[in-house]
Amino acid sequence: MVLRWLILSVPMSVVWMALSNELNLAGFTLGYIVSFAILSLVGSRTAKVHPARFPSQLVAVFVYTAILIFEIFISSIDVARRVIDPRLPIDPAIIEVSVQDPQKNSFVAGLSMHAITVTPGEMVVGYNEDTGIMSVHVLNAQKSRQTLEEDQKKRLALIKRIVGRDD
């Protein structure tokens, strides 16, 4: 297991160098240490990191991040418009949304709750571990009722790819 983490830390440290704009030995070393620490902390408990799956998992991380950034951008514009223009409806409500994970993995639930909470206009205000139901406060109840469950289904598929689950 440790050998696998040592090997997988190499491409992760290259990504670290690219993202931090530190294209030198110090950047690689720091990225390698951080990558190894992440793999040893997270990999053993939640994610099935395997060299054959790693490219797919890395692509899933990038897709998940791109979708999240796009949703944050769109939601920011929507919330700003609602604040600036008082004629636009604000219909706040708390909606229950299922995590939709049959294994009720806390890591998967946590990533789902994080993605919802960082999106402007939505915030997870409660979570029932037994049922896997999140209570989400939204600014536009009608629109959110239609999209939250479908968005969670897509988010769950990406998170499963990231953590290496096939179920």
Residue 12 parent element (H or E): helix 2-20
DSSP string, 48-87: ---TTTHHHHHHHHHHHHHHHHHHHHHHHHHHHHHHH-TT
pLDDT of res. 154: 92
pTM tops 0.75, yes or no: no
| Rounded Cα distance, 18 and 14, in Å | 6
Q: Which two tokens stand for residue 63?
A: 């897709």
The domain limits of the chain are 2-43, 62-163
| Rounded Cα distance, 133 and 67, in Å | 23
pLDDT in tens, 9-58: 888 888 888 888 888 898 889 888 888 877 776 665 555 666 677 778 87
Q: What is the pLDDT along the chain (167 residues), one digit of tens a residue?
A: 677 778 878 888 888 888 888 888 988 898 888 888 777 766 655 556 666 777 788 788 889 889 999 999 999 998 899 889 888 888 899 999 999 988 888 888 888 998 999 989 899 999 999 999 999 999 888 888 878 889 999 999 988 888 777 65
pLDDT of res. 37: 79
| Rounded Cα distance, 52 and 112, in Å | 26
Q: Which of 95, 87, 71, 93 is nearest to 139 (CA)?
A: 93
